[in-house]
Structure 1
Amino acid sequence: MRLRAALEDAGIDAGADGGRTIEETRERYRLAAKATNDTIWDWDFAANHVLWNDALEQAYGHPLATLDTSGDWWIAQIHPDDRARVYDSIHAVIDGDGTAWSDEYRFHRQDGSYADVLDRGHVIRDSEGNAVRMIGAMLDMSQIRKAETALRQSEERSRTMLETIESAFAIIQVKFDADDSPIDYRFLEANPAFERQAGVDLRGKWVTEFAPDLERFWFETYGHVAKTGEPASFENYAKAFERWFEVKAVRVGEPADRQIAVMFSDVTARRDAEERLRTSEAVARENAERVQLALAAGAIIGTWHWDLPSDRFTVDEAFARAFGLAPALGHEGLSLEQVIATVHPEDRPGLIDAINAVITRGHLYAHQYRVRRTDGIYYWIEANGRVDRADDGTPLSFPGVLINVDERRSIAAERDRATAALRTLNETLEQRVAARTAELMQAEEKLRQSQKMEAVGQLTGGLAHDFNNLLAGISGALELMGTRIEQGRWSDVDKYIVTAQGAAKRAAALTHRLLAFSRRQTLDPQPTDVNRLIKDMADLIQRTVGPSIVVDTIGAIGLWPTLVDASQLENALLNLCINARDAMPDGGRIMVEASNMWMEGDVAKAHDMPDGQYLSLCVTDTGTGMTPDVIAKAFDPFFTTKPIGQGTGLGLSMIYGFANQSGGRVRIQSEVGKGTAISLYLPRYDGAAVRDEHDTGKTPVEFTESGETILIVDDEPTVRMLLTDALGDLGYTLIEASDSLAGLKLLRSDVHIDLLITDVGLPGGMNGRQMADAGREVRPHLKTLFITGYAENAAIGDEQLGPGMKVLTKPFAIDVLASRVQELMNA
C-alpha cells in the first residue's frame, strides 16, 4: 500500500490500462531500493506523512509495521544536540525556493544508540512554487566515521611516536641531474628530535644551502635508495656537522617522487666513548708491554701486592728500598698510609685520587710520582698495576710493579725547556715579522701617496695658469661693473655679473676636484659611476697634459657601475694619461673610453680572468708605443723608460696592484710607432644604483614670515657680511661673532637662537664643530650649518654629523645657502 500510494503521488495510473506500467515502475523502485544501502524516504507535507523503505528497519531497527509515519516522529529521532540545527536547515530549503537539501546528524536507533548519517533530500513544488513533497535518502556513515576515527587515532599515535622518540626522522626528496646522478636533497618533513639534533629548522631547505661541503657519500647513498628502492643501514661521519650518525633509509611514495624516509641517531657520544675505550685499551697494552720490557731489561725496581679487603700491603725488598722503608716491613704487611708516607707532599693528593679512581671504576693503573729514598733525595718512579675483582665487581686485590723513570723525566724536562725556548723564539719572530710587515705597509702607502703627489705636481703649472685666467676674469668683471655703475650704464652690469659668477664656479669646481684627488685618507670601495668620474676628471686631465694634446672622453649609455675606491681609480686614470702624454712629446691625441664587456670562454682565458661581466676603462694614445720587452717589464716596480728624475717607475705597478685588489685586471696593447692602449677591467657591481648627487633638485626659497634668529660665526668679515646681507633679505634676524669664544658665549647666553651657521676653521681655541658640540650641551636641539673651504668630508664627514646638522662647501651660491638654511629650519 505504501508503494502504491507513492506511485499514485508520483502521477502513475493504477487502472487496468496502466497495470503493466505500474508493475514495471514498482519493480524498478524495488530493485533501486534493494540495490542501495540508503534508507529511502518520501515526505508528504500536506498529510505530514513520511513513507520509508525497508532499509529503515534493517539499518536502524525501527519496525515498519508499527512505525509512526509522521514527520514529527522523524524529527524526534534526531539527536537533541543536532535537532534544532537540522530542523532549521531543512525548513530553510522548504520555506525558500530551493530544491536540494543535505545535512549530517545523529539518528536514533531502536536499541537506543545513535548512528552518524548523511541525509539528502529533493523538494518537489507545485506549479505555484509551493513545496508539496520531499524525497530523500539517508546513508549510515557510522562505519565510515569509525574508520576515520581509527585512521585519525592511528595517525595521532604515529605522530606522537615520531614526536617523542629520540631518533631523528625525516622525509627527504633527492634531486638528480640530467645524467640521473644525485646532486642534492632537501628535508620535506621532520620530527622534533631531528630539529633538536640539527639545531635549526631545516624543513624545505636543500642540504647544499647550509652544508655545501657535505661528503658525496650522503648524496650517493640516498640517491641509490631513491632510485632502486633498496633500503640502506649504515653509520657515517658527517664532517660538515662534525658528528657521527647511525642511519636507516627506505624509499617511500611513488618511485618517480624520489623520496625516502630516514631515521637516524646522533651516535657521536657513543663513537667517542668507543674511541676512548680503544685508546684506554691501547694505553693498557702499552703499559703491559712496558712492564714486560722493564722486566726483561731489569728496569723494575720493586713489586707489590695489596689485599684490598684487609688493606694489607706486601712488598719486596726492592720496593721497600725504593720507598725508603725497612725491608722487613714489606713481608709483615703495610697499610696504605705507611706506603705513601714517603711520597712527595705535592704528589700525594694526585696519587690518592688515581688509586681511588682505579679501585672504584677502573682496571689497569699507571701513575708517576716522586718518592724519598733512604738518603733523603726525591726521585721519579712510575707505578703500574691492575685491580682484580670478584664476579660481582667487588675489588679484591691490587698487584703492581715500580719503574724508575727519573732519567726519562729529566730528558723530557730538558726537551720541554728547549721547546719553550723555541716557541719563545718563534713568537718573537712573528712579532718581528708583524712589525716589518707594518713598516712595509706604511712604506707602500707612502709610495702610493708619493705617486699621487707626483701627479699633483704635474697639475701645478697648468692649475696656476688656469686660476690666473679665472681670477683675471672675476677681477676684470667686477672692475668693469664698478665703472659701468659710476657711468650709469646699468644695462651692461648683468653681463659682467654672469661673467664673474661663471668664473667663480669654474674655480670652485677645479678646487673641489683637486681636493678630492689629493686627499690622503683610505676610502672603502663604493659603487662608482665611471661615466661621471671621467666627466669630472676631464678638465683636470686636459690641464695636466697641456694644450698640445687633444683629450677625448667617451662614455657609454647604460654603463654598469663598479665597486672600487674612486680616489684610487682617479689616481690610476690620471697617471695613465700622464704616461700617454710623455709618450707624445710632439703632441697627439688621448682617448679615454668606458664600455661594458662580457668575458667568456677563450676571451676570458686570454685575459686570465673569470667568466663574467666587466666594466672596461681604456686610455689610448697616438704616441711612440712600446716594444714587447718593455711591455713585459712595464708592471715591474721601479721600472721606467723616463730619464732619471722624471719618474719613480711605480705608476703602472701601483695601477696593476689596484686593479687586482679590486677583482679586475689591467692589460697593455701597444705597437711601436702607432701608440698604446692600456685597459682596466673592473667587475660589474650588481648592487644598488649609484646615486648621482648632481641631479638633486633645488628647494624653492621663500621669504620667512617668522623672522627666525641665526647666529653667524666666521672670522672672515667679508663672508659674515655676505651671509648677513643674503639671509637678512630673506627675513631672518642675524647675530654675528668673529671667533669661537664669542660664538660660544652667545650660545651659552639667554639669547634666542634658531640656527647656528659657523665656519669649521675658527680662531679662539675651538673649531666650529667643537664650538657647536659645546653649544649643544646647553641647547641640545641646536640646528647647525657648517661652512668649510675643504673637501666636504675632509673635516666633517656625513657619518660624523648629528641630527639637525648639515655641511656646505665654499664657495657656494646664495640660493644654495638659502635652500640649505630653509631645509634645516623646516626639519
Structure 2
Amino acid sequence: MADMSFLSGGGEMGALMRAHDWSRHPLGMPGSWPQTLRTSLRLMLNSRHQMCVLWGSEAFWFYNDAYRQTLTAERHPSSLGKPGRQVWAEIWGDIGAQIAQVMRGGSATWHENQHLVMQRDGRDEDTYWTYSYSPIDDESVASGVGGVLVVCTETTEQVLVSRRAMEERQRLAELFEQTPSFMAMLRGPEHVFELANPSYLQLVGGRPLLGRTVADALPEAASQGFVGLLDLVYASGQPYVASATPFAMQPAPGVPARQRYLDFVYQPIRDDAGKVTGIFVEGTDVTERALAEKALRASETRLRAINSDLEQQVVQRMQGRARTWQLSTDIMGVLNAEGIFELSNPAWQRVLGWPEQIIASTPFFNFVHPDDLERTRLAYARGIELGEPALSFENRYRHAAGGYRWLSWVAIPEDGKIYCSARDITADKEAAESLARTEAALRQAQKMEAVGQLTGGLAHDFNNLLGGIMGALEVARMKLEQGKVEDVPRLLSLGEAAVNRAASLTQRLLAFSRRQTLDPRSTDINRLVAGMEELIRRTIGPSVQLEVIEADALWPCRVDPPQLENALLNLCINARDAMPDGGQLTIETANRALDDAAAAAAFDLQPGRYVSLSVADTGSGMSPDVIARAFDPFFTTKPIGQGTGLGLSMIYGFARQSGGQVRIHSEPGKGSVFTIYLPRHHEAPQETPATPPARIPQATRQRGTILVVEDESSIRELVCELLREAGFHTLHAADGSAGLRILQSAVAIDLLVTDVGLPGLMNGRQMADAARTARPDLKVLFVTGYAAQSVVGDGHLEPGMHLLTKPFSLDVLRQKIDDILAA
C-alpha cells in the first residue's frame, strides 16, 4: 500500500486507479512509476479543476473526477491508462501536434476556446475548450519531458452564448443601419451624438455628427427650439412625440434652408438605476405627406365652388346605377351581420321566384341546399369576421316553385356587411353533368373492348393448351387399352408440358393484373444477373454479343427473384427477336436517386432511391405508337403463333406490384432500351440454396395427421392420395366451415393444408386464424392460385404459416410439407 499512497483520495478516479490491474500495463506497477508522474497524479486527483495527464511516448492517459464529468460512456471508465491517440482518435489531428511540441521540450502552451469535434453518445458534437499544456520533467528521457499536465475547462456553452449575443448585436446594428426612418442616440445632458444611421445623415445633408453636440453640429436645430425640447426630455424623463413638425434645415453655409416636415419621438434612455443618461431620437420625413395635405385643404375650397355641378353628375350616375340594379339579370344584394339580405334587386324574383319582402325577412341560410349549408356558413363567417372575399363560390338555392338552382357568387365584405352578386349557372352544371355521363359511357365502352380483347386472347391460348392436354390423355388411354404401355410416358410428358404452359400463361396474366402472389426477399440483382448470364447466352445464340455492366456497390432490392429472372429472360428474348441478323445486347445495373420532379414527371414513382436493371439492344427499334401499346395484354408485333403478347404486360405488372416501374426508350432503326426500376431495400441479401424436388416415396410407417381443405374435389383427392402414399393419415373438408369443425374437435392434427379462396363465409386465412385460438402452435400451409395479398401475400405471415402458389407439382408439395414438419 505504501507504493500506492500517491493515489490516495481522489474520489471515484482515485479508487478506479487503485483498483486497476497495472501488472500487464506498459508502465508497470504504480510503485515503479517516476516520481514526477506520481507527484503530477497526486496533484491532479486532489484538484477540483478539470485536469488530465498524458505520460510517455504513447501519451498514456489519466484524468480526475472533475474531468470525468465531461465524458460519456465511450470513454469512461474504459479509457484509463490507454494511449491518447487511441482515446482521442477523432481530435488527435488537432491536439496531437500540440502535445508533441511540449513533449519535445517545448514550453507550455495556452489555447483559448479551441474548437474540437468530439464523439459523444455515438455522434459528432461541436465543443470548445480553453486549456493549457504544461511539461512534466523526467530526466530519464532525452528531451527532459516525460509527460504533459493538462488543465482545461469546457467553454462550449459560453462560446455559443457569446456567438448568439454577437449575432443579435449584429442583427440590431443592421436594422439600425437599414431602417428607412432616421435614428440617432444622444449622450449626456449636452446631447452629444453617439450614433446616427444613414437616414439621419441624409436628413442633415451628410454633415459630421459623431462626438459633437446637437447645438454645435446643427445650429439651426437650436435656433428652432429643438435643443430646448431635448433639455426638457432629459430633465423630466418623459418622452416627447411630434407630428408634422416644420424644420428649416440648412444643408451648408450660404445655401438656402429647405423646409421639411418631421414626425419624430424623443425617448429618454435610462441606466440600471433609472437615471436618464441619454436620448434616443427616431422619426420620419413626412414632407411629401404634409405638402399633400396642404394641397388637399387648398383644393377643398375650389371643390366647394363647383360642388353643385358635381352633385348633379353624382345624381345622374346614381340614376344609372339604379337602372342597372333594377334591370340586371344577375342577383344582387347587401347581406348584413344577421345573415339577412337587407337590400335585394328584382332579379331575385325573376331567377328564384322570391319577392323582396320574403328575402328581407328570412335568413339566407333557409334558402341553401342542406348539402351546401356547412361550407356556405363557413364562407359567410370568413367574410363577416375576417373580411375574406368569396370569388366564384357555388351553392344551390331553393326556388319558390320547388327544386334548387345553382348560383355562382361574388361576395365582397366591407364595413360589417357583404356586397353580393350571383349568376344562375344551373344550365352550365347540367351540361357538365351530361358531358361527364357521356365520358363515363365512353370509358366503359373502352373497358369492355379491352375485356373482349383479353377474353378472346385467353380463349385462343387456353383452347390450344386444353386441346394438347385432352389429346395426350385420350391417346394415352387408347395406348393403355391396346396394351402399348411403352408409349404412355411420352404422351404424359406432352400433357405435362401443356399444363406447364398453361401455368406460365396464368402467371403472366396475374403479373399483368398485379395480382400474382409474390414471395419478395432482399436480393442482390448483380448476383442474380451473373447467375443467369450463361442461360441468357445460350438463349440469344452466337450471333448476338452479350455485355454485362454491373454497378459497383449496387443497393439491394426486396423483390421476388424468380419473377425478376423471368422478366429479365423475357426482355432478352425480345431483344434477340429484334436483331434477326445479330447485334449487341447490353445488360446494365445502376443506383438511381429520383427527386420529386423526376419521380413524378418521368417515372410515375414516389421520390427516393431505386435500382435500375436495363436491357439494351441494337435492333429494329419501336415507333411511338408501338411504345404506347407495348404493355397492353395480347399486343404483339410478331406473326400469329410466334408470341402471346403477354411478356411485356407481365413485366409491367410485376414491376408495379413490386413498387417500381418499367420505362422504354426506343427509336425506329436505333434499337431499344427497357429499364426496370425497383425500390432500394436496406436489408442485406441472403443466399438461399435451392433444394431439388424429390420423387414421391413408397408408403412408410404412419408419420402424422394432415387436414386438407380444398373446394376442388380433384385436387383434394390427389393431395390426399399423395399424403397417404407418403405415410400420412389424412382428413379432408371442402369449405372453411367444415374444416373449422374438424380443427375445433379433439383429433390430433400435425399440419393444416388449405386453399385461400374457399367458398362460403370463411376463407382459408380466416379458418386458420380461428383454429389457432384453440391450437396456437398449429402449422399451416396456404395454397393459392391468385393474389390473396390482403390475406397471405403481403409478407406478414405469422410464425408457422407458409405459402405455396398454384399450380405446383406433387413433388414440390411433398417436399414443402416435409420441410415444414421438419422445422
Shorter chain as normaliser: what TM range? 0.3 to 0.5
| Structure with more contact order per residue of length (Cα contacts < 8 Å, sep ≥ 6) | 2
Mark the structure with the bigger radius of gyration. 1
TM-score if structure 2 supplies the norm length? 0.45
